[in-house]
Structure formats: C-alpha cells, structure tokens
Amino acid sequence: MVKFPHETFIDTNPFAMINGPLIPWYGSDVAYGFLAKAPAQQKTVVRRRGMVFCDGMRLAQAANYFELGDKAGAFFVEDDGLTLHLRLPEDDDPANHLIEFTAREQCFCPEEKYSAYVKIENLTFKKAGNGFPPPQRGAVSTNCGNHFIINNCVVEDVNGVGIDIGFQCPARFSNAPRGYQIVSNCTISGCGICGLSGVPGSSDIHYIDMQHPAIIVVNNKLYDNCWQDFEELMENAAVKLHHLRDSLIAGNYINQTTYGCGIWTDASCENLAIRENAVVNTKNNYGSIFLEASHEDLEVSRNVIIGSKCHGESGGNGIYSHNCDNIRNVKNIVLECGQYGILHNYGGTNRINRGRGNTGFGVDFFENMISNCKYALMQPTEKGKADKNIYGNFSEGGYLKVGMPELHLDLAAWTKYMGWDKNGLMAEIEYSLASDRTTLDILIKTKGNRVKLVLNLHMPLGAQIDELFKMI
C-alpha cells in the first residue's frame, strides 16, 4: 500500500476522478458512461483515470480490491484517490523496480482557449491520466485553438486521448475560428481510447452541419492504441476526426489498434482524401478505415490494409462506410479481413447531415486488390462504377455484393448483369508480412503473368503501389 501526499498533484488528481464520460453528446441528456449495461463496461467507466507503471509496463487497474487476488501486475485505488494498493508482477518487492504514476491529466495545454499560430515540435509527452471523451481533452491539446503545427513529437502512455486538435465537443459553443491544423511526423502510442482526435464544436451553426477545415495528418506512426475495451463509446480509433473539409490524412503507419478503427472520419466530411496509409492489425466494430455519414468528394486511395478482425459479432472490414455517397476507392490493397475487404453499407436515407440524407450513389472502385477475406466488397447501390479490380481468395460464395437491390454475385455475374469490372481479374495472391510488420512481400499470379514486389510500409506508398499495378 502507498499513500500519496496531497501536494503530489496540482489542480487535478487523476486517481480521484473516474474515466467517465460524464458529459452527453448532442441529442441526449445522459452521458454514455451512465448508460453502460455490460458489467465489463460499467467497470471501465468507474475505474480511475490514473495509471501506474512498473519498469515502464502499464499495470492493470482492479475495479474491486478483491480482484488483486486474481492476478499479479495490478493496482486498486481507494475512494480518497490517494491510497493505492499494488501487486507487482511476480509479487516482487517494489524496492526492486522503478514505479511511476500519472501525476497530471494533461502534459501540454494552453492556459487560454482559442490560441492561434502555435508550433509544438521535437517534444516528448508521456504518462497522462485523462478521461474518456466527450469532451476530447488530450494529453496534448490545442485547447480549441487553430493554426497549430504539431511536428515530430512523441505522445505515449495515456489513459484516454493522446492529442486533441478540436473544440472539445460538446462542451464548447463558440464562433471562434477553428481548423487549419497540421499533425506530422509524430509517434503516438499506448493511448487508451484514441491517439488523435478532433471535433469542430458548435456555434450558431448546428453541430451536425459544422465542419473542421484544413486538417492535415501526415507521416505519423501510431502503435498499440485503443487498449481500453469500450468501443461502444464511438470514439475508439487510432485517428478519430469529425466533420472534415478540405483535409488530408496520408502517409500514416498504424499498427496494432486493440479495440477500435485505425482511421475513423465521422460525419459531414467533404473534399477529404485518405491516402497512402498502412493500417495493420486492428480489432474493430466497423473497419480499419471508416467513413461515416458524408456525401461529397471522398477519396480512399493507395492504402494498404492487413488484418482487420471482428470485435465480437461485428466489424472486421478493411474499408467501411455507412450513410455515404461519392467515395472513390482507388488502388487499395486489402488483405486478411474477417468480413469484407471493402464494405460500403447503404445504411438507410433518414440520417440528415448538412441538409440531406444519403443516396449511396457515386461509389466507385478502380484497381483495388482484395484477397483472403470472407467477402470482397459491397457496392451500396447499382449507381456506381467498378473496373480493373483484382480479386483473390474468399471464404464465401457471393463475394461481390450490391446492397440495393440485394445481390450476391461472383465476378462473372458482376460483369454480366451489372457491367462492372470488364477489365477485372481473378488472381492467386500470396503474401507475407515481416515480423516487425513494416514490409509486405506480395506475389500475384494471373493468367500468363507473375508479379512479385516488396512494399515498405514505412515509406511513401503511392509510387510503390502504382509500380505494382503497372506490372500486373
């Protein structure tokens, strides 16, 4: 047992505050934390925000004192938020180890809101005990600012959100400027709910219609995020950004997202490109890349997605969307997914964003490569295009699907009845991912052709993928 002196903490004691969330989203007067029904979720909600580390390893937090008897490597916090009971790995003496704890909720946050033109560069931020969104309050926060550059920083071991670049919605109602943020060349790891988040907040424009302009997220590495098993919170993703306009998410390497999507762009997005990202090993309720309820000028291109697994009975898709229109899927390589390689779900038309519901029209697929999934892809309606796609091995028949009208086809029927993929191919696709998950060896065998290439997932993917498709 250890008891912290009161002066250990300044302003906020993370061990005295529960994870939450304690603030509801728009349209509700009850926070989701109070609506958690499963016992595991209820325990997660009421655990404390503080974390304890033994020789750099995060210890599990027991919700009840008696649970310390179940396994070593855990701690329990008493009601006062100052008294901790520790059980170290192998029941060893604490004197033999370096014990660390989160003494702060945030590592960097401007004192005043709405700051502008700030650069944060070449800094490391570790071990912050913040809560679950909403609101999104990161270990590193712009505090509702605009025109920030966050470059070449390290953010790791965070209980909730790593970096927030938004308006900490729904706790802010303001007409202050927003957006124009750059996050580049950063390494973000060990964040419990979300590595990078940002929501536009509200002003005199309703939250549903507000947008976040000019968000640039490029060349970052995100590892081992979303370890808090609370995906029903709807904020679990290595990158979770809302309502983007004129924005780019490109060149990011995302590995081992434990319970959540790799990249999730949530609602009302417009003129958005998600390109040249590598997303490896996610377990999710939706997909490795998820676009939600957006209508205009959406591009998903030249991404490599490997190993999207189902979280429970849902998810496990490579690229996923619902309630969307006008998505261009171009030259993505999608391998080893529990459900669809690419699933664009019709989702109904009664969800209104920026003045209208979705149609599912204008979803196009060109030169994608999909293999080792249950199904290849779903076109939400018959009003879209598909050509030059390459299909490998699928565990179920009817691997090419249309949502409206409901159709379950193979490549021959897909071409005959829909007129799609007249230049598409079936191929034998063999691949291996290096043990460090940074290189992909891929071999494609088609009639009369054999192509082999090694893709470096840490290097720009566009030229590498273009070269591969030229060779086929």
| Mean pLDDT of all residues belonging to the chain | 93
In a domain, 333, yes or no: yes
426 pLDDT above the threshold of 70: yes
pLDDT at 407: 96
pLDDT band at 175 (very low <50, low <70, confident <90, very high): confident
Residues 189 and 317 in one domain: yes
In a domain, 401, yes or no: yes
27 pLDDT above the threshold of 70: no
Mean pLDDT of 415-433: 96
In a domain, 205, yes or no: yes
Residues 157 and 16 in one domain: no
Of the residues 101, 136, 160, the one at which a domain ends: 101
Residues 254 and 374 in one domain: yes
pLDDT digits (tens, 9 = 90+) for 308-317: 999 988 999 9
Q: In this structure, what CATH number is given to the domain that contains residue 234?
A: 2.160.20.10
348 pLDDT above the threshold of 80: no
1 pLDDT above the threshold of 90: no
Residues 211 and 127 in one domain: yes
pLDDT at 205: 61
pLDDT digits (tens, 9 = 90+) for 354-372: 778 778 899 999 999 999 9
- Percent pLDDT > 70 in the chain is 97
In a domain, 110, yes or no: no
173 pLDDT above the threshold of 80: no
Residues 40 and 171 in one domain: no
97 pLDDT above the threshold of 80: yes
Residues 60 and 125 in one domain: no
pLDDT at 203: 61
What is the domain count for the chain?
Answer: 3
In a domain, 30, yes or no: yes
Mean pLDDT lowest for which of 169-173, 320-324, 397-401? 169-173
Of the residues 67, 101, 135, the one at which a domain ends: 101
pLDDT at 26: 67
Mean pLDDT of 39-64: 94
Task: Give the best-scoring range by mean pLDDT among 8-12, 166-170, 195-199, 346-350.
Answer: 195-199
Of the residues 60, 75, 101, the one at which a domain ends: 101
Residues 449 and 336 in one domain: no
In a domain, 111, yes or no: no
In a domain, 364, yes or no: yes
Residues 90 and 132 in one domain: no
pLDDT band at 274 (very low <50, low <70, confident <90, very high): very high
149 pLDDT above the threshold of 70: yes
Mean pLDDT of 43-53: 95
pLDDT at 392: 96
pLDDT band at 207 (very low <50, low <70, confident <90, very high): low
Residues 52 and 151 in one domain: no
Task: Give the best-scoring range by mean pLDDT among 40-44, 289-293, 350-354.
Answer: 289-293
pTM (2 d.p.)? 0.95
Residues 165 and 72 in one domain: no
Q: How far is it, in rounded angstroms, from Cα 230 to Cα 215?
A: 26
**In terms of residue numbers, what domain contains 451?**
428-471
Residues 156 and 64 in one domain: no
pLDDT band at 353 (very low <50, low <70, confident <90, very high): confident
pLDDT at 210: 78
CA nearest to 272, candidates 290, 253, 287, 254:
290
201 pLDDT above the threshold of 80: no
Residues 191 and 340 in one domain: yes
pLDDT digits (tens, 9 = 90+) for 214-269: 999 999 999 999 999 999 888 999 999 999 999 999 999 999 999 999 999 998 89
pLDDT at 37: 78
In a domain, 447, yes or no: yes
pLDDT at 227: 97
